[in-house]
Amino acid sequence: MRWLVATVAETIPETATATTLRLDVPSWPGHRPGQHVDVRLTSSDGYQAQRSYSIASPPGTEWLDLTVVRLTDGEVSPYLATVAGVGDQFELRGPIGGWFVWDEEDPAPVLMVGGGSGVVPLMAMMRHHAQSGSAVPVRLVYSARELQDVMFRDELESLADSTLRVVTVTLTRERSSEWSGRRGRIDREMLNEFGWPPNAGPKCFVCGATPFVEAVSSALVALGHDPTSIKLERFGPTGQ
Amino acid sequence: MLAHQGHACHVDSLRRLPFTVALENFCRTRVSYGARNQGESQMRVEREQPTLGVTPNPRWVFLSEVVSMTVVSRGFGGRFRRPNGEVTPPGQYVVDDFPVLTAGPTPSVTLDEWDFSIVDETGSLAAHWTWDDFLTLPTESPVVDIHCVTKWSKLRTRWEGVSVDTLLDGVESSADFVLAVADGGYTANFPLADLTGGRAWVVYGYEGEELDPEHGGPARLLVPHLYFWKSAKWIRGLMLRNEDEPGFWETLGYHNYGDPWREQRYWGD
């Protein structure tokens, strides 16, 4: 798979630690929602570092959006999230991954469960769902720490409706009483209330840090969902 | 490929030049370096690099075919450089923790239910062990470096388990390939020669402890000379094959063989 040169066209702050890099990538071959890219940075003395990042933009847009969370001890994410500016260049290749992908031809209802930055590949699916005019009902359950950590908040509100795209945001550490939505970690009860019943035969996409993914996937299996219908993607310090 | 060369090429100043001019200068710097220090093999590898869609000056056409078009990212310094002498495959970085990567939920299998089978290329059961049987087989304790396709490497990991040579001892077969089969439907494929000769194990211990289910317990395959997705978690058997059959990730865009030293991550690498 070839390395392509990406040029930063725009940087969009999402939260205090997350930035969307809007990239111009000539000869980008296109992607499916949920896939990721490998990014390769090269320093002026030839040292290189590679990491993987999920694609946030849906297929068919002019730009490729990567939403990157700056990890304190990271090597690549601090550069992408705070240093890279308009006109800066790095290499990437992709799209990568044929598993954690939503297929718009699949008539099964969709449950997406995201923790923190795990919402990024799910956002590509949500955006594609909206743009493609899909009639498949989608439910997104998204957990963040505090309100200020919720990514794509305005866009999620505009994408959400009461039937086709139902979005539930839960905050695990929000102290303010202004938040009238759900609080607490995503558990079996919350998945039962805001997800699909197993007999609806949903496709489940779970993305987040490893403990989150383990807990949610175990809860889904315990609720009776078919393990083969549950697709996992993990984020974490090694996924910088 | 260029990660450990300690090579400076003044790209900060080049960035301010018109792009094609900068590119030519960049190429010139690289090829003189490459010719002096790298030799033919490096050039052959770099021929696969992209050409940026820029029409090169005719004088430099030959260079664009052999020289990396790597762009330098302004302001990137690199924090995870390794001490001299500690070598990892290209594109990898070293971690101290043990990340978990799986495609689906962690299966739960009790040790009473667990067994391990070897099926030969005719479809016949060639060998079979229960958990208790398996524990009576001769053990080995390999200490190996492991390399995940998601870029992390972990050095000097210590495992306990049974060599695949031991498992295949007494199995009559002329198969050239093998498919590892695991709980949850996961599979990984290999030339049989890659699982023999002391290069692969079925392990149930990690760093002196029982292998955690997250990391593939009760037992996983360990094939450290290939990317770690090949080391199938929750392994339950080996199917010997006359024909190669791509496994789970191998049908989803990942390289059929997966040699980290040749950076065979994806199809076409």
A236 pLDDT tier (thresholds 50, 70, 90): low
Q: Which domains, and CATH codes, for chain B?
A: 11-66 (no CATH), 93-262 (3.90.420.10)
Question: What's the whole-number mean pLDDT along residues B7-16?
Answer: 30
pLDDT band at B267 (very low <50, low <70, confident <90, very high): very high
Q: Provide the pLDDT for residue A138.
A: 98
For residue A76, the model assigns a pLDDT of 94
A91 — pLDDT class (breaks 50, 70, 90) = very high
Q: Which residues of B touch A52 (CB under 8 A)?
A: 150-151
Residues of chain A in contact with residue B3, where contact means CB-CB under 8 angstroms, are 46-48
Are the beta carbons of A45 and B8 separated by less than 8 Å? yes
Q: Which tokens sit at A80?
A: 């992408």
Strands B115-119 and B143-147: unpaired
What pLDDT does B98 receive?
A: 84
Partner residues linked to A50 by β-bridges = A40
Contact call for B105 and A217, based on CB within 8 A: yes
| Model confidence at A195: pLDDT above 80 | yes
Q: For residues B165 and B159, is the Cβ–Cβ distance under 8 A?
A: no
Does the CB of A132 have a partner CB in chain B at under 8 Å? no
Averaged pLDDT score across all residues of chain A: 95
Contact at 8 Å (CB) between B34 and B49? Answer: no
Asked if A220's CB is within 8 angstroms of B105's CB, the reply is yes
Cross-chain CB nearest to A75 (options B5, B78, B107): B78
| Cα–Cα distance measured from residue A64 to residue A56, given in angstroms and rounded to the nearest whole number | 8
- In whole angstroms, give the CA distance from residue B195 to residue B166: 11
Three-state secondary structure readout of chain B: CCCCCCCCCCHHHHCCCCHHHHHHHHHHHHHHHHHHHCHHHHHHHHCCCCCCCCCCCHHHHHHHHHCCCCCCCCCCCCCCCCCCCCCCCCCCEECCCCCCCCCCCCCCCCCCCCEEEEECCCCCEEEEEEHHHHHCCCCECCEEEEECCCCEEEEEEEEEEEEHHHHHCCCCCCCCEEEEEEHHHCEEEEEHHHCCCCCCEEEEEECCEECCHHHCCCCEEECCCCCHHHCCCCEEEEEEECCCCCCCHHHCCECCCCCHHHCCCECCC
Q: How many CB pairs under 8 A join A and B?
A: 150
How far is it, in rounded angstroms, from Cα B7 to Cα A39?
A: 21
The answer, yes or no, to whether residue B26 has pLDDT greater than 80, is no
CB nearest B105 (choices: A52, A88, A230): A230
Supply the pLDDT for residue B43.
30
Q: Does B104 sit within 8 Å of A228, measured CB to CB? A: yes
Query: Worst-scoring range by mean pLDDT, A160-164, B39-43, B259-263?
Result: B39-43
Note the pLDDT of residue B226. 98
What's the angle, vertex CA B34, arms to CA B28 and CA B39, rounded to 5?
145
Average pLDDT, chain B: 79
Residue A56 has pLDDT above 80, yes or no: yes
Q: In what order do the strands lie in the sheet with A110-115?
A: A182-183, A165-171, A138-144, A110-115, A203-209, A230-235
**Tokens linked to B139:** 């053990």
Beta strands A36-42 and A48-54: pairing type? antiparallel
pLDDT of res. A203: 98
- Amino acid, single-letter form, for residue A167: V
User: CB contact, 8 Å: A23 with chain B?
Assistant: no
| pLDDT value, residue B67 | 38
Q: Which of A37, A47, A225 to mutate to test the interface with B (most CBs of B within 10 A)?
A: A47
Q: Measured between alpha carbons, how far is A31 from A94 in angstroms, rounded to an integer?
A: 8
* Best residue of A86, A101, A238 to probe chain B, by most B CBs closer than 10 Å: A238
Q: How many CB atoms lie within 10 A of CB B256?
A: 15
More confident residue, B101 or B106: B106
- pLDDT score, position B77: 86
Local confidence band at B97 (pLDDT 50, 70, 90 cut-offs): confident
Q: What part of A 101-130 touches B (C-beta under 8 Å)?
A: none
pLDDT at A218 over 60: yes
Mean pLDDT of B215-244: 97
pLDDT at A145 over 90: yes
**Which pLDDT tens digit goes with each residue over B35-90?**
333 333 333 323 333 333 333 444 343 443 333 468 999 989 888 887 666 789 99
> Hey, what are A70's tokens?
């700056």
Is the predicted pLDDT of residue B30 greater than 80, yes or no?
A: no
Q: Which of A210, A214, A228 sits opposite B185 (nearest CB)?
A: A228
Which pLDDT belongs to residue B108? 84
Which of B102, B105, B150 comes nearest A221 by C-beta?
Answer: B105
Whose tokens are 């059961």? That residue is B125
Selected residue with higher pLDDT from A238 and B225: B225
Q: What is the pLDDT of residue B50?
A: 34
pLDDT in tens, B168-226: 999 999 999 999 999 999 999 999 999 999 999 999 999 999 999 999 999 999 999 99
CB contact under 8 A, A1 and B97: no
In this predicted structure, which of A110-119, A127-136, B90-99, B156-165 has the lowest mean pLDDT? Answer: B90-99
pLDDT > 90 in chain B, percent: 64
- pLDDT more than 70, % of chain B: 73
Whether B50 sits inside 8 A of A2 (CB atoms) is yes
| pLDDT the model gives residue A235 | 77
Reply yes or no on whether the pLDDT at A214 is more than 80: yes
- The chain A residue lying nearest B152, using CA atoms, is A238
Q: Quick one: average pLDDT of B157-171?
A: 97
Q: Token match 């954690």: residue?
A: A100
Please tell me whether residue A9 adopts helix, strand or coil conformation. strand
Domains and CATH numbers, chain A: 4-96 (2.40.30.10), 110-239 (3.40.50.80)
- DSSP letter at A58 equals P
pLDDT tens track for A1-50: 999 999 999 999 999 999 999 999 999 999 999 999 999 999 999 999 99
Distance CA B87, CA B13 (A): 31
| Mutation site, A42, A70, A231, interface B, largest B CB count within 10 A | A42
* Facing residue for A214 by CB, picked from B10, B106, B184: B106
